[in-house]
Structure 1
């Protein structure tokens, strides 16, 4: 009996093991099927529940002799983990396989080629005398009207079928550009209508095409119309000149009125950059003939104003706009070149007006209700103002006062930065201050020897030193009051301002010595006296910094370092320069006074340091 019971238990264990093996095989087949279906891209059906292969056999409870055998424990089936198919990566199609790409390329190429052909036909017909002028113009008008009508027909058919492509856009743009070229021809070549009337008709044609672009909401139509007419107007007019410059400006104005550059950066570039290039070429050709045109100034000024208005409009629409800054910079450069091609009076006046106009524009656009505009546009506006101001000074100031004018310009922008507390104005002031510093370096370098100092203009050196010191002081003040300047930059600016102040003070003292020496007939004595006094002045400044460092808790470390550094510089100047340059009583006086100041500074510093210590530490 016991033998039979053992056999039953053995069979139950073998049966459970066999079941586990069968479930393991089922799980393996399910995983293989899911993998194959995922590779073929078809969804995998839900897997059949199965028991994991590592499920142990159910134990059989021991039974007493004569008792019935305990049933095999029910095997709980464990569902296999469903395999999540990975997303299928679709291959990236080539550019010509993308929807509408081929149509767009062909439409653009067709528009460009057709416009060039029309322009060449008009020019060749005039050169060869084909047809009568009236017939040429009539055929051109019919072709332009036909292209515009064809564009509308193609678009209506595409809209009815639920499609949209670049074909009708290119066709209509070609028609409007061709019509504008016809207007250019009848105005500049045939002279049938006065220039004012021709510009008015051209504006009507351009506005109608650009309003259609706005109605269709297609930037491509507007850009093609403007680019085609701008680039091919010189071909029809057989050269660059005042008429072409005015026509491209009218076209730019029409484009601005149509959209205002809001959200259409490609149109902003199309209406500004080629027009600026056309005006520039007109300036070059007219200047080469020896008669620079004043009409180019009007055209460039109008284009600059349009670019600025469009950039402000786009900046209010998009705070990260960069295209507006580029268009303003390009048109402003053309305006400066237009003024630069003329004589000194008009050139200097023009530069000054541009500087003032852009300074006012910066002030208006930096705050509500117009601004604030994007920072790149504000920086471009201020930069143009600074560059124009410097050009005005260098163009119109007498040679003796050029550096003085540059320093006055830098001083004005530094004062504006302090008043407005604008970071952009502070950047402009920094740029002009750098230029002014470079220009000012001619004064200190002239005072290294008595020979060059005698030939130098001490009066302008003294005046420029006062102005340069003011620029340094206002610059440091501006960095302190303008928000958002890092602390490290503030500290560096204070150090630079101190160095500039020491340099300008030394130049100013030596200049005073030279002025009095020349009046008294002792130029060399005035030179050496000025240098000796400059060394003493530096030592006095060093002592002041050391004592101030003990009182100013916020800037104690900086003041102490600057004071010790300045004392070291004074001693180095005393031994390396004064000892070799000064002679007689001035050398003795410089050494004695400097030494006494060093001793006095050390004693005063020790007493001041003792007073600043706590009583317990002093005890």
Structure 2
């Protein structure tokens, strides 16, 4: 038994006993850890290094006396009686600080990037200047790629050289990939079909090695190295097909290892290059360009669907948002009905993705967080529906122009708002509101301009009055549909808190009603008389609407405030506009009609207020 003085404790027997028990437990824990380490290393039954100099220690015994913890000291392994040293690294020596490791990675991958630039110069510049011959250039590139991969496999066996091994392997596979691209585009050694198969095999080899080494950095290095420099060697639909092969090869690894960065990096190439090639493609390459654009759309959504079960909602949302970019850019470049049909393909694909039943289980692999799957489903579906709405908007504007496009946009906005009211869903309401806002802005400037409402004669009347009346009516219907849908989903209420929602909709509806009345009056009499009669009807209708709002607003402050504002607007219109712009009977009718309605409104409103106060008592 050790004494209290040996352990550095006082003379109190209870304190000394507790200290000794604590020390004994720590020594036993350390001894058990040492025995497990020796068993794992295959040292059972062999002599233990470091025990030769300990008297009475038999061969194969654990040095339980050397390096044991003492009281008030952290347990430390044998041979560390001196000052505490840095943690051991993979090679057994001191582990390098994190800053030094980061610097090593930067140097290694920078060297890989410079090497790839040299490969591109070898393949492209040599082709333009006639160096070595085509066979020698391709062979030298392939030999260099294989040599770098072989060196990486050898270095990866040493724990202290794995940073360099990752950089060498990424550079090697990217070199092979660029060599395949050059052999296909520059030297025509391979037809596009076999070349894509070879490229897919090279990419699968590099990404498979990243999977085996569990190194997402290696996978990203292979994809980025090949995709970033491929445009220097090939620029056509073949470029999009080559980066699509990278994305397809990365999919199994992404699903197995749940690597979001690799998924996004692999999807970026087809989206960016597909959009660029689709926007600049020549007429002779339309068919393969459309094929790779649709292929990028399908590959992106096909990647997002299984990835939605293992990746975050943000990563999957980014994949879905980027997938239609090549199709939409190609649609813009084509224009007309062909471009609209291509955009419609994106609408159908994105709508089908949002409706796939499997998306209801997004995030189901995290049962410990029951609130997350619903949020992940909602996020991904919102992105898909939003992308489909953008594609439908583009298809409409590409296929139609002028007032027809305005009418169609307003019709789509009304349909989405009605759907939102029926389903009590906010997503269709958001889509319908976005469509309607754009259509109303177009109508304000072209189809039902404000100039038509405030001045006569106006150059705006050169357009069709029937079209102006139709657009104005649709604007009014859209405002009403948005208000009803907003009330059904709980966004619009009869209180001041929801005023930011119903006030803009009310203003849009007021504009639509005013423009409709004036335009219909002009259809009856396309002269000054029709213009003035229309504005007289508008003033009277404003006061009637104000009376309705005030009557409904006895117990609803928001409606009461809206009625008062509309009364003030009607009075201002009488004084500032009708008094100047109208003449004759129209001016008299406006003032008399508005005045009588206001008198009736005041009398009726006073009676309603008195009844309400009596009921309250």
Q: In which range does the TM-score fall when normalised by the shorter chain?
A: 0.7 to 0.9
Structure 1 CA distance, aligned partners of 2:565 and 2:195?
A: 72
Residues 549 and 563 in structure 2, CA contact (< 8 A), matched pair in contact too: yes
> Deviation at 1:96?
7.2
Residues 292 and 342 in structure 1, CA contact (< 8 A), matched pair in contact too: no
| Number of the residue aligned with 1:140 | 141
Alignment of 1:67-146 (within 5 A): 98=99, 100-146=101-147
Structure 2 CA distance, aligned partners of 1:135 and 1:485?
A: 73
1:166 paired with 2:146, answer: no
Structure 1 CA distance, aligned partners of 2:615 and 2:490?
A: 40
Residues 469 and 500 in structure 1, CA contact (< 8 A), matched pair in contact too: yes
Structure 2 CA distance, aligned partners of 1:180 and 1:332?
A: 26
| Number of the residue aligned with 2:586 | 586
| Number of the residue aligned with 1:572 | 572
Q: Unpaired segments of 5 or more residues in structure 2? A: 1-6, 13-71, 73-84, 87-95, 363-372
Residues 300 and 331 in structure 1, CA contact (< 8 A), matched pair in contact too: no
CA offsets per residue over residues 362-404 of structure 1, 9 Å max, x none? Answer: 4548961458546655444343333333333333223232322
1:266 paired with 2:274, answer: no
| Number of the residue aligned with 1:15 | none
1:278 paired with 2:270, answer: no
Structure 2 CA distance, aligned partners of 1:227 and 1:485?
A: 49
Structure 2 CA distance, aligned partners of 1:366 and 1:575?
A: 62
> Deviation at 1:451?
1.0
| Number of the residue aligned with 1:405 | 408
Residues 196 and 245 in structure 2, CA contact (< 8 A), matched pair in contact too: yes
CA offsets per residue over residues 410-445 of structure 1, 9 Å max, x none? Answer: 223323433444434433333223212211223251
Alignment of 1:437-516 (within 5 A): 437-442=440-445, 443-445=448-450, 446-452=452-458, 454-482=461-489, 490-516=498-524
Aligned pair count reads 519
Residues 344 and 396 in structure 1, CA contact (< 8 A), matched pair in contact too: yes
Residues 309 and 361 in structure 2, CA contact (< 8 A), matched pair in contact too: no
| Number of the residue aligned with 1:80 | none
| Number of the residue aligned with 2:52 | none
| Number of the residue aligned with 1:349 | 341
Structure 1 CA distance, aligned partners of 2:616 and 2:443?
A: 53
> Deviation at 1:206?
0.9
Structure 1 CA distance, aligned partners of 2:401 and 2:421?
A: 29
Alignment of 1:235-274 (within 5 A): 235-237=232-234, 240-260=235-255, 263-274=258-269
Structure 2 CA distance, aligned partners of 1:585 and 1:566?
A: 24
Cα distance change, pair 308–478 in 1 and its aligned pair in 2 (3 A): farther
CA offsets per residue over residues 569-605 of structure 1, 9 Å max, x none? Answer: 1121122222222222222222222111111112222
TM-score in terms of structure 2 length: 0.75
Structure 1 CA distance, aligned partners of 2:480 and 2:123?
A: 65
Residues 361 and 377 in structure 2, CA contact (< 8 A), matched pair in contact too: no
Q: Quote the RMSD (CA, aligned, Å).
A: 3.5
CA offsets per residue over residues 540-589 of structure 1, 9 Å max, x none? Answer: 11111122223xx4xx1111111122122112112222222222222222
| Number of the residue aligned with 1:60 | none
Residues 223 and 270 in structure 1, CA contact (< 8 A), matched pair in contact too: yes
Match of 2:212 among 203, 212, 215: 215
CA offsets per residue over residues 13-71 of structure 1, 9 Å max, x none? Answer: xxxxxxxxxxxxxxxxxxxxxxxxxxxxxxx977999xxxxxxxxxxxxxxxxxxxxxx
> Deviation at 1:318?
4.6
Match of 1:337 among 329, 339, 355: 329
Larger CA Rg, structure 1 vs 2: 1
Residues 308 and 324 in structure 1, CA contact (< 8 A), matched pair in contact too: no
CA offsets per residue over residues 247-301 of structure 1, 9 Å max, x none? Answer: 11222222223314974232233223344333344345545xx767443333233
> Deviation at 1:327?
4.7
Structure 1 CA distance, aligned partners of 2:284 and 2:194?
A: 26
Q: Secondary structure at the match of 1:345?
A: helix
Structure 1 CA distance, aligned partners of 2:335 and 2:433?
A: 30
> Deviation at 1:229?
1.1
Residues 292 and 341 in structure 1, CA contact (< 8 A), matched pair in contact too: no
| Number of the residue aligned with 1:205 | 202
Deviates more, 1:209-218 or 1:418-427: 418-427
Structure 1 CA distance, aligned partners of 2:475 and 2:615?
A: 46
1:432 paired with 2:435, answer: yes
Alignment of 1:186-205 (within 5 A): 186-205=183-202
| Number of the residue aligned with 1:41 | none
Alignment of 1:15-54 (within 5 A): none
Cα distance change, pair 596–484 in 1 and its aligned pair in 2 (3 A): closer
Structure 2 CA distance, aligned partners of 1:505 and 1:485?
A: 21
TM-score in terms of structure 1 length: 0.75
| Number of the residue aligned with 1:31 | none
Alignment of 1:260-409 (within 5 A): 260=255, 263-283=258-278, 285-286=280-281, 293-311=286-304, 313-319=306-312, 321-364=313-356, 368-369=360-361, 373=376, 377-409=380-412
Cα distance change, pair 471–45 in 1 and its aligned pair in 2 (3 A): farther
Cα distance change, pair 573–352 in 1 and its aligned pair in 2 (3 A): farther
> Deviation at 1:360?
4.3
| Number of the residue aligned with 1:152 | 153
Cα distance change, pair 398–604 in 1 and its aligned pair in 2 (3 A): same
> Deviation at 1:313?
4.8
Cα distance change, pair 229–607 in 1 and its aligned pair in 2 (3 A): same
Structure 2 CA distance, aligned partners of 1:134 and 1:283?
A: 32
CA offsets per residue over residues 441-460 of structure 1, 9 Å max, x none? Answer: 23251221121264343212
Structure 1 CA distance, aligned partners of 2:481 and 2:204?
A: 50
> Deviation at 1:331?
4.8
Structure 2 CA distance, aligned partners of 1:460 and 1:489?
A: 37
Residues 351 and 384 in structure 2, CA contact (< 8 A), matched pair in contact too: yes
